[in-house]
Structure 1
């Protein structure tokens, strides 16, 4: 993290901002687990006025390779800045654009300590998936839109990881392919794609 030599003014302004800003509601649906999440627009709509009232502004810039820098600035000239890297699921314009939007949402939440209306982040769905019957009538359809949506893939990876941890805890054999096939209508190509995304997810999040 980088910061100005003094952060006295910006610290006071952030206190004022956090007292004024309201809870951010989640309006967008997660296509996998039927949960909701806050869109970038949801967040910007809520924080714009409290930021202005507190003499604060935020700048977010893509820098380097798959890196985003978020700078919280105060009218006094004081600032706090940080940046982090997130790799897109697919390295094409759509994938990179989706990744930047995803980065911006989470960076704003962290930098401004936002109270984003809580959901189960796929945990409840993950628990249900462990005991869900493998009846083909209950299988979900997996589309290319899902595979190209980073938020959906991150939710699926969390679900896979939770199942893997549960299997390891119970000393049971675990297979990504078996887990996916029990719950989704998929081809072998799609299973391979999900497995690759999952391995990259573990690397990005330092998971074993």
Structure 2
């Protein structure tokens, strides 16, 4: 696909997972288990189509909005490939939409966990731990996307690495009180992981540039 960077395709893929797939799954669960039902849906088109066509209508609405965003992004990048200012605004807009989608998913997940804990208190600890991991990954994604705004692939790499490092904490209960005892501890933990991984990537970049310079000389 000429003129379309791999990082843009990667960001659009992540946006689909966050905005369409994750949001649809969490919203569907809330509609079935929350007395408020569809009332909390922020997408007016999804709200409208759900009232006439149910969950299928809501999925179609979210897909339509996503396709509009994706096609606009691809068109701008292909047509204004050499105009840095326009591409920069496109990237910032896409990052803002991705950040908003991640916040919505985290908010929906919190609602799912709270309602689930009310129905079954025995799983409340597992839900809080899962929410802590999800919140940490989301904070990592937002910070790394902002930090690596010119290198989206690096931001995705950092986020995936943090998610991988969080797996033992999610599986093993003994780590739970250390990391997820408060929002501050979760944010400090996430910030520490981001800082370490970002430092490694920056140093790796510098070594590559130095190696290329030496090879040319």
* TM-score, normalised by the number of residues in structure 1: 0.29
* TM-score, normalised by the number of residues in structure 2: 0.28
